[in-house]
Amino acid sequence: MSTTRKRLFIKTYGCQMNVYDSDRMKDVLTPLGYESSDTPEGADLVILNTCHIREKAAEKVYSELGRLRPLKDEKAASGGMTIAVAGCVAQAEGAEIMKRAPVVDLVVGPQTYHKLPELIAQAHRAKGEALDTEFEVEDKFDRLGSDRQVEGYSAFVTVQEGCDKFCTFCVVPYTRGAEWSRPVDQIVGEIRALAAKGIREVTLLGQNVNAFHGAAPSGREADGPWGLGQLVRHIALIGGIERIRFTTSHPRDMDEDLIQAFADTPKLMPYFHLPVQSGSDKILKAMNRQHIAADYLATIARLREVRPDIAISGDMIVGFPGETDADFEATMELVREVNYASCFSFKYSKRPGTPGAAMFNQVDEAVKTERLAALQALLDAQQIAFNTSMIGKTLPVLFEKPGRLDGQLHGRSPYLQSVHANAPAELIGQIAEVEIEGASRNALSGRLIGPKRSAA
Ligand code: 5AD
Ligand code: SF4
């Protein structure tokens, strides 16, 4: 194996699982002598870790490949530049990418990037043959191992991949494959290793994370697979881990045990992302979400009952085929009722191969634009109100890095809000109490009251 120093540039699009996957690609490539670089200029290997969720996300990949072309030409004289497309566009389009963009040397799907070293060698030998978009999740995690390079104090950990729900707007079941959960032992091994490297907060990732059903730890196999609630309680026992989050959940997979975990596990942060997509029962049915608006509202009410300080975030789609003004108003009504701390909202985007793309009653683009603006105005107002409601409260803040101003640190509240406060640098990596004095749409500022406890 050659260990000459080489430069690696990875550009990550889309969701947090792609951020995790990009980190793991770096782990796989480090032993080959690749060192991360912040820019593609002069890089020996460029990886675009792509997203296929909406049309715009997929298009960005092709424009980026256009920008890389001259850089690859320039690098031809000094060792050359290998260009790889990874992630969900790679999975969805496969060999088509190399036809449409000959600048690409290799294509690797989300389940096979542990084979990057072989694929790179193959691409160097014979262009056009380096393609791997198989689904073999188990092999991937076995090969990746638990040794990760870490930066900072917070890390993502994939615990579940894939989706069997087949919402009619969504490409994920096609790009990430069937639902699959990692065994508990493997997850715990990875988190213990992260804690030993200073990680204080873990976010458990899965396309359908609350459908998690991983093999129980050795010695407890007889219990059958564990649900997410059990996993969360087990992770809370790992020394050094102070905060636990998980994302993304589906309303259909909320069980009472997981709701109870919010009540009995203080390390599980009181901030929960539960997408609903629409407030109209007719649209929820057309989306194949398998629940009605009232079910979602009942789950939120139950969560607030067991954990009164919980805040909710979500995802909404406007302009799904067949959405009328009345359906959209039902979405606005649901948003008023939930009162989100934060919520992502999107115009419906037709995705090739999904049932929604073939529906005849597509909504006019101008109507989508209008509805999105109205929804976002309401969501922005809710987010500002939520942040403002923090003023006067004392929040535990996990300090992560120096702030923009001298003497200031930047950290995160339990609700993932950015918090700035004057604090000594020794508090980086620790949780301290901050009294909140100011709030805007995207950040809070406050006064250090004192270290809550050592983070370890
Ligand atoms: N069009 C618009 N938004 C979409 N999402 C997923 N697929 C589409 C689509 N075709 C949104 C959903 C999902 C989030 C990750 O992206 O709101 O929860
Ligand atoms: Fe897509 Fe629906 Fe699966 Fe979420 S639950 S990944 S929106 S198909």
Q: What is the pLDDT of residues 29-41, one digit of tens each?
A: 998 899 999 999 9
Q: Is 242 helix (H, G, I), strand (E, B) or coil?
A: coil
Which CATH architecture fits 394-453? Answer: Beta Barrel (2.40)
Read off the pLDDT of each residue in 424-439 and give the average, rounded to a whole number.
96
Query: What was the pLDDT predicted at 3?
Result: 59
End-to-end CA distance of the chain: 38
CB of 163 sitting under 6 A from ligand 2: yes
Long-range contacts of 125-128 (CB under 8 A, 24+ apart): 128/98
Q: What is the pLDDT of residue 247?
A: 97
Q: Which atom of ligand 2 is nearest to the CA of 170?
A: 1
Looking at residues 315-342, what average pLDDT do you find?
Answer: 98
Closest approach atom of ligand 2 to CA 248: 4
Work out the average pLDDT over 334-352.
97
**pLDDT (tens digit per residue) in 79-116:** 899 999 999 999 998 888 988 899 999 999 998 899 99
Residue 448 Cα to ligand 1 midpoint, Å, equals: 39
Start-end of CATH 2.40.50.140 domains in the chain: 394-453
Q: Where in the chain is the domain with CATH 3.80.30.20?
A: 139-388
Segment among 177-181, 247-251, 268-272, 370-374 with least mean pLDDT: 177-181
Q: Please give the pLDDT value at position 137.
A: 66
Q: Give the residue carrying structure tokens 């500002």.
A: 384
Which atom in ligand 1 lies closest to the alpha carbon of residue 315?
Answer: 17
pLDDT single digits (tens) 357-375: 999 999 999 999 999 999 9
Alpha-carbon torsion 303, 286, 277, 275, what sign?
positive
- Determine the Cα–Cα distance for residues 452 and 433; give it in Å rounded to an integer: 6
For the segment 422-431, the average pLDDT, to the nearest whole number, is 95
Nearest residue (CA) to ligand 2, atom 5 = 165
- 3-class SS at 49? strand
CATH architecture of 139-388: Alpha-Beta Horseshoe (3.80)
Which atom of ligand 1 lies closest to the CA of 275? 18
When pLDDT is cut at 50, 70 and 90, the band that residue 135 belongs to is low
Each residue's pLDDT tens digit, 73-85: 999 988 899 999 9
User: Which has more pLDDT, 456 or 212?
Assistant: 212
pLDDT digits (tens, 9 = 90+) for 261-291: 999 999 999 999 999 999 999 999 999 999 9
Q: Answer yes or no: is the C-beta of 53 below 6 A from any ligand 1 atom.
A: yes
Does residue 427 contact residue 453 with C-beta atoms inside 8 Å?
A: no
Distance from residue 387's CA to the centre of ligand 2 (Å): 29
Q: How far, in Å, is the centroid of ligand 1 from the Cα of 53?
A: 6
- Greater confidence (220 vs 214) lies with 214
Q: Could you tell me where the DSSP H helices lie in 277-324?
A: 281-286, 293-306
CATH 3.40.50.12160 residue window(s) in the chain: 6-137
Q: What is the pLDDT of residue 220?
A: 85
The two tokens of residue 250 are 């589906």
pTM: 0.93
Say yes or no: CB of residue 61 within 6 Å of ligand 2. Answer: no
Ligand 2 centroid to Cα of residue 328, in Å, is: 21
Decide if pLDDT at 450 tops 80. yes
Three-class DSSP category at 236:
coil
What CATH number is given for 6-137 in this structure?
A: 3.40.50.12160
Write the burial class of residue 434 (CB in 10 Å: 0-12 exposed, 13-18 middle, 19+ buried).
buried
Cβ contacts of 405 within 8 Å, gap of 6 or more: 420
Tell me how far the alpha carbon of residue 354 lies from the centroid of ligand 2, in angstroms. 12
Between 222 and 299, where is the model more confident? 299
Query: Is 454 a residue whose pLDDT tops 50?
Result: no
What is the spatial distance between Cα 273 and Cα 51, in angstroms, rounded to a whole number?
20
